[in-house]
Structure 1
Amino acid sequence: MEAGLQEIVDALSVRLGRPVLVDDVDLRPLAYSIQFGELDSVRTASILGRTAPDAARDTLFGQGIRSALEPVRIPAFPGIGMEARICIPILRAGRRLGFLWLIEDPPVDDGELRLAREAATEAAGVLQSEADTQLDRRRREQELLSALLSPDTRASAGAAAVLEADHYVPPRPLIVIAGSGSAVSDAIDRFRARVPVKHSLCAEIGGRAVCVVGAQASMRGAQLAETLRSVVPEGTAAHVGEGDAVSELSETRSSYRRALAALRMAEDRGEDLARWDEMRAYRLLTALPPTAYDDIPEGLRKLLSGGHEQLVLTLETYLDHAGDVKSTAAELWLHRTSLYYRLRRIEEVAGVDLNRGEDRLLCHVALRLARLQRSGA
């Protein structure tokens, strides 16, 4: 596929005397010609980084290229180092397979545009079989990763054996990351575009983006969080949890469980990213069954169920400050007399004695469980 596509790009570049680039639908370069004239910084960054920079992606997609059926003339955007260019959609039977790009320096005339469209049609024939292969590969990856991380021991072992035999595994050690948000499938496609081939396994499982990556790639969790944020509507939350590092595919189920626990903590705290290694008490809280909150004493559940927000905030602040009245009052901007009054009301409503360590522990656990429940986790 690559040789045929490269020949098309090189031939067109020679005929036009200008640089030519072909991207896939995720704006990942597939073939590019030699450079004529000064380098366009966006083109350079795309080639070196294996995908278009985020600012360029947002700008280009904002010009409507993902739905265009005809060439799109895109003006220069000096602020991101992008010169004027023409995008020729590469289409076959209504299916979008990629984009052919011409830098407009000098402007592209009608004759050149006709030649570029012919080249795009020829490129579509080359890309069609690769697109079918890629779709089959992603479907297979979805099936294998779902089986690998499933509770079915036999299915998991079988998937691990297939992945090992195909040499399709990221560099060891491995780590599982899981993300939540809208447009998960788009986020997975964009994440794949940023990661070298065979350095990740990605799938949508349970409505979440789930990836197995090399643990040494320390920024992968942050990359997935950034990718999720880039595709969700403004004001919509996106969260990512990182599991722990494991040495074998057969151990990824454990890392996956811990990634989901970290994801619950991220959702609870409203954070972009949470890591298992940094979870501390949340390791135990997220392991409790969903019915654990129902086992909290009735009075404490009454306090947490609504209508006592001021008292709940006071209790949480008091416990987070290890029962230190002075620091709690300062945090809440309260006089100590007012704080003592609130603490007595908490004890009355919840039926606890805050002088007892066991009751303070119960209250702290209940507060965290209530937050996990409210976060929808």
Structure 2
Amino acid sequence: METTLQRTVDLLAERIGRPAVLEDGGLRLLAFSTHTEPLDPVRERSILRREASDEVRRYLMRFIRNARHPVRVPGDDDLELESRLCVPVVDDGEPIAYVWFVDPDSVIDAGDADWCCHQLSEIADGVRRSIAPSGLHSMARASHLVRSVLTDDETAQESARELVDGGYLSADRGVAAVVFRALDSSDAVQDAFAASAASAFDALLLGPRRQSFVHAVHDSALVCFVSSANEAECRATVTALQTIVAKHTQEGGARLVTGVGGIRLDPADARASYREALVAARAADGFPHQGAQGSQVYWPVSGANELAARIAVASEADFPLHPGFYTLLDDPEAGILLETLETYLDVAGNVQTAAAKLHLHRTSLYYRLHRIEKLASTDLKDGGERLNLHLSLKVAMLRGHYLRRRASLGRIAEEDVS
């Protein structure tokens, strides 16, 4: 296929009478014709580095984003860039690559530009197949951008837009985040699951069929951004991906949960969808009735936990937790105390029911509750305090501050709480 691409680029250059360069959707070099005349500095650097600089890429994308017909890009003295004609390679209605002619005098007419479009349409499918294996560099770049969206406050929006500009995600659809996580397993098993599932996705992206998602491993989970025009399309894509991921959780004996964020029309908002997906995945774990094995929990989280979920995705500075919660969290017996408190509040303060759920004698439960009141500087007979603590516990779980213990609770050494 590389030979075919090179022949096509040479043919275009000969017909137009100008050197030609073929670049993929991220403006990485695929092929170029012979250059017998002096190069403008941008073209020279692009050939030597095999990709455009970030500054040049941002400038060019302002003009060619979503282009499906030839576009003339004006020169820029500060970038040392001469005026160019860009002819997109369109496959299935979407631009997947670009042919460039440096044309400062605008001598290339509409007829020649249309002829180029026709020639490129004949090889569009081959260009797409060559782009995927070109390969691992492109996928590594996509994964880097995904991680930047997830972790870098300053570049998150720019990285999200570059996922679209680079052709990794569709420009005509919205974007939704998906979090796949393996539960009830060791950290090593979770890490192995995420890496194994990511490798399966890599193989899918290298296949002949065009895909509409990008992915990266982050925090022992597999995180994807999928292109979706509507909820039905999103659910179909998530279900197909989950089928692949489920095989890797079965191999490790783990339980799979899937959280899906809301669809964002502007890719710059992809990070907000990720926060929702993360909360949805934690809801599937922390609220057992919310989802079972292999479940998909979509934003917004439904039912009584919706308020806690909406607070959880907001800034912690805007919605701080009950101050006593942090004291409990720092205690060596935090796991036992927090689950005791949550169980007690979940049953509206019914001591008999809470003791039965915790497999405790009521005297032991009273002891724990007294200890919680002392540590948290609270009064569990106060309805406002109970509401604040209850909501704080739900939000804290969804924010990842603590994990609900699955094993039976041990006993706390009975200390003097006076």
Q: TM-score, normalised by structure 1?
A: 0.50
